[in-house]
Structures are given as structure tokens and as C-alpha cells.
Amino acid sequence: MFDADKLREECGVFGIYGNDEAAAHTVLGLHALQHRGQEAAGVVTFDGRLFHSHRALGLVGDHFSNETVIDALPGHAAIGHVRYSTAGAPLLRNVQPLFADFAFGGLALGHNGNLTNALTLRRQLVEQGCLFQSTSDTEVIIHLIARSRQPTVVERLIDALREVQGAYALIALSADAIYGVRDPLGIRPLVIGELEGAPMLASETCALDIMGAQFVRDVEAGEVVIATRDGIESIRPFGTPAQRFCIFEYVYFARPDSLVDGQSVYEVRKQIGAELAREAAAPADIVVPVPDSGVPAAIGYAQAANLPFELGLIRNHYVGRTFIEPSDRIRHLGVRLKHNANRSTVAGKRVVLVDDSIVRGTTSTKIVAMVRNAGATEVHMRVASPPTMHSCFYGVDTPERAQLLAARNDLEAMARIIGVDSLEFLSLDGLYRAVGGRRRDAVQPQYCDACFSGDYPTVLEDFGLGGSADQLSLMFEDR
């Protein structure tokens, strides 16, 4: 469940074509993708004659577990979306998929990611007379499609996408097909699956597993896929640019049971933990994960360090949305409600705590105090990613730079704030080794690592072209 002291993935998308229970499957897929967005959910179906839609603020289970809702979404084709907003306020009119009637017929559209020139395009479109109904940057794509003079739906979609910059894994539904597109750098994930001959698209493979569907392959960077009853057609209108997939998907966002780029996220996280143990061994008796997201890295760390892995922190899984509050006061309260130290495990021990990342540091501070209060003699923190120092502009909710612990403190100061005997982060090279990617000094890096390095892989038109990460973050705050 949601953690206020983690970066937040913004959206998950799902689609299926050629299954008479398309809506029910889409709801199941969205349920599996709930970790990618807990603020709102939506489904649009097409029954051969009409489009049907249901969109709501809240969790998938809050609004789509009712048979009446599923019955009101008939059709053989459906797309769905879960979201947490970065671009666009949490209003019902911003909930995706968005739907519009075009000259060619209806089209529903949803995307995961963030367009870095959406504000610029929006201003231009408004000056040209376009009326926007939402504040979501997905609507920019809808207006660009409407303006296109291309003859087919897919050509109009491609025409529109040629004008946008940034990160998107996009999914669309017309009367004839569902469409999936990844931006030319493939920053956000999208996979192809199949269920009894029906092609499917999803943000992660866990959305296929939930209904026993087969994983076919990842949609490639810059690829457009068109799914119909005849299967999947693929086109590559944006050439074959070098991929810059979000490396944070491996660190935290993706579910550990998903495959990303053909690799098990769980196994990669264990590798990350093993690299961390090799780079930054701690003098400890036991390895304790910060649950849940630190568990695979802690297992890898413990195995590589040949230390016992112990559940020295227990997480309460019943802390829900009541505590999703932006104020620092509630955040601190939320930490105490969420975790408890397991005294029988940590008392009298030198503990190495393993977490996947540190964002503000508020959770880490409370957890370290808890472990000390439970009798640990030493607490060493090892973080299974490099320091998070920069904001993300590609569809991940990052606090403004001033709130990122690593952006304003050196290692020693961070250790003092968190209250640990020692603190170490995985190096960027170590992270690349663990994910099996090219080293960062290679000519073309294979991943986006901008929140660690400040090396943004696209022009950030709305955030000051070519500016330093500092300037970019300031401009981001001003939005």
C-alpha cells in the first residue's frame, strides 16, 4: 500500500481486445496494477455499436467490484487506467481513460507518464481555439489528434505524438482496435499479453498473471502496436532510438512478481542487495528489511554477506487511505502506525537495515528510532539505490528538490539526521551492474537515472530547456 515517504508511480494502464468479458478482465488487470495509482480508476468499453465508460475517484475495489458496474460495461474491447496525479488535479474530470468523439468516431485514451511540453502545447492549442475540459496532459493528445489531417486513427495518433515530448506508455480504444504506444525512449513500461487468442496490453506482467494470460513481449521503445481480432500489428514510426527505461521501476515501482524487459523484478532486486553488500558491508549480526519494498534487496544482501535475514520490523497492512495526508504531522503519525519493531529479533543485536530508497527520510528516522528502542545495540542503514537527489519529470510524483534528504545533505549529515551508526547507498555503477545494463560511461546509457544523476534524457520544454537540475526543480515547483 501507499507510502508517503516513497516516490509515487503515477499510473497503470490495461487493455484487451476480442474477449466478451473485456470489462471484467480489465478490472482484474487494474486491480493487479493498483500499486501504480490509488487515486482514481476508469474503464471504457466498446460493444460494436456504443462506447461505455465508468470512472471514479478511489480504489479499483471501491468502485468496480459491483456486478451492476461490470454489466453496464458490455463489449469485446476495453481499456482501463489507474492513476495518482502529477499533471492534473484529483478531479473526476481528470480521471482516465478520457473519451472524445472525432470525425472518424469515438476514441478513448489513457496514459502513464508525463509530457514535458504539455503546458506549451496546451497554451498553443487554447490560442487556436481549443477548449479543455480537464487539466490532464492526456487531453493535449486528444486535441492534437482532432487537429490532425491524417486519414486513419493510427496515423492521427502518430501525428499527434510527434508533437509531444516526455514519457508516455499510452493506451487507446477505437471502434476497430486497441492501441499501445511507448515513447521513443521507452521511459515507462508497457507489455503485450494474450488470453485465449485475445491480445492484451498492460503496464506490468502481474496484470496478465492475475487472469492466467500469457506474457508475449514488451512493447519496444517508440513502437506502436494495434491489437485487433487478427492479433497484434506493429509499426515503428519514430525510428529506433536508444532506450532509456526508468531504472527506478527495478528499484521500487514495479511489483516484484513482474517481469521487466524480460527480467524478474524480484531477482533484480536481490542482485541489487547483493551488490550493496559487496560495496558497503556493515559490521552486523542480522539483516532486517524495511518492509515491504526493502525485502528482496535485504534477502540479496543477507545472502551475499552471509548474515541471517530476520523480520525485525513488522508492517501493519491495514493502514489504508485514511492516512494519505500531505501534512508532515500526519506523515510522522503514519510511520508509527505502519511499522513496529520486533523486539525479540533485534534486542542485543547489531542490525543492518536495508531499504530500497530514501526520499524525505521521515520514515527512515522513525524506523531507526524504533529499532534502537527495541534494544538494537547498533543500527546501520544500507540503501539499495543511489541517493535520490533530483525531481522526476516523467510521470513520478517526487517531492520538490528541497524536500529530498540527499539533495541538501551529505552522507554524514544524513546519517546524523536518520540516527544511524553508519549509512551507505548503492553506487550508480552498482545499480547498473545489478540490472545487467550497460555501464553509465557507455556511449548510450540504457536507462533513465535522472533522479539520481540529474541527467535528463529529454528536452524539458516546460521546465527550462537545458537548465541545470536545480533550475529545473525550481521551475517544477512553480507549476
Site of interaction with ligand SF4 (CB under 6 A): 7, 187, 246-248, 392, 394, 396, 448-451
Instruction: Determine which helix (DSSP H) or strand (DSSP E) holds 240, and give its type and residue range.
Output: none
The residue (of 177 and 404) whose beta carbon lies closer to ligand SF4 is 404
The residue (of 363 and 388) whose beta carbon lies closer to ligand SF4 is 388
The residue (of 247 and 358) whose beta carbon lies closer to ligand SF4 is 247
* DSSP structure string for 143-204: HHHHH---SSHHHHHHHHHTT--EEEEEEEE-SS-EEEEE-TT--S--EEEEETTEEEEESS
Backbone conformation region of residue 120, classed left if phi is above 0, alpha if psi is from -120 to 50, else beta: alpha
Write down the least CB distance from residue 396 to ligand SF4, Å.
Answer: 4
Write down the least CB distance from residue 126 to ligand SF4, Å.
Answer: 28
The residue (of 368 and 450) whose beta carbon lies closer to ligand SF4 is 450
The residue (of 189 and 312) whose beta carbon lies closer to ligand SF4 is 189
Dist. CA 404–CA 191, nearest whole Å: 32
Measured from the Cβ of residue 479, the count of other Cβ atoms closer than 10 Å reads 9
Write down the least CB distance from residue 435 to ligand SF4, Å.
Answer: 11
| Grid cell digits, residue 344 | 525479540
The distance from CA 277 to its chain's CA centroid, rounded to whole angstroms, is: 26
Long-range contacts of 58-63 (CB under 8 A, 24+ apart): 59/34, 59/321, 60/27, 60/30, 60/31, 60/34, 61/31, 61/34
The strand pairing partners of 167, in sequence order, are: 114
Angle among Cα 359, 364, 369 to the nearest 5 degrees reads 160
**CA distances in angstroms from 142 to 108, 129, 159, 170, 180, listed in the order given:** 9, 14, 11, 12, 15
Write down the least CB distance from residue 452 to ligand SF4, Å.
Answer: 7
The residue (of 10 and 310) whose beta carbon lies closer to ligand SF4 is 10
Q: Nearest CA to 246 among 426, 387, 403, 453?
A: 453
Told to judge if 11 belongs to the known catalytic residues of this protein, a careful annotator would answer: yes
Write down the least CB distance from residue 401 to ligand SF4, Å.
Answer: 12
The verdict on whether omega for the bond into residue 292 sits within 30 degrees of 0, i.e. cis, is yes
Residue with cell 477548449: 131
The residue (of 148 and 391) whose beta carbon lies closer to ligand SF4 is 391
| Grid cell digits, residue 442 | 557507455
The residue (of 179 and 394) whose beta carbon lies closer to ligand SF4 is 394
The residue (of 137 and 449) whose beta carbon lies closer to ligand SF4 is 449
Parallel, antiparallel or unpaired: strands 98-102 and 259-260 = unpaired
Write down the least CB distance from residue 327 to ligand SF4, Å.
Answer: 24
Q: In 3-state terms, what secondary structure has residue 237?
A: coil
Write down the least CB distance from residue 443 to ligand SF4, Å.
Answer: 19
Write down the least CB distance from residue 448 to ligand SF4, Å.
Answer: 3
| Grid cell digits, residue 63 | 468502485
Q: Nearest CA to 13 among 198, 197, 138?
A: 138
Residue 466 has what DSSP assignment?
T
Which stretches within 264-379 are classed as H helix?
A: 265-279, 295-305, 328-338, 343-346, 362-373
* DSSP structure string for 376-443: -SEEEEEESS----S---SSEE---GGG-HHHH--HHHHHHHHT-SEEEE--HHHHHHHHTPPPTTSS
Q: In 3-state terms, what secondary structure has residue 449?
A: coil
Write down the least CB distance from residue 9 to ligand SF4, Å.
Answer: 8
* Active-site position among 11, 206, 448, 451: 11
| Grid cell digits, residue 355 | 531499504
Q: Indicate which residues carry an active-site annotation.
A: 11
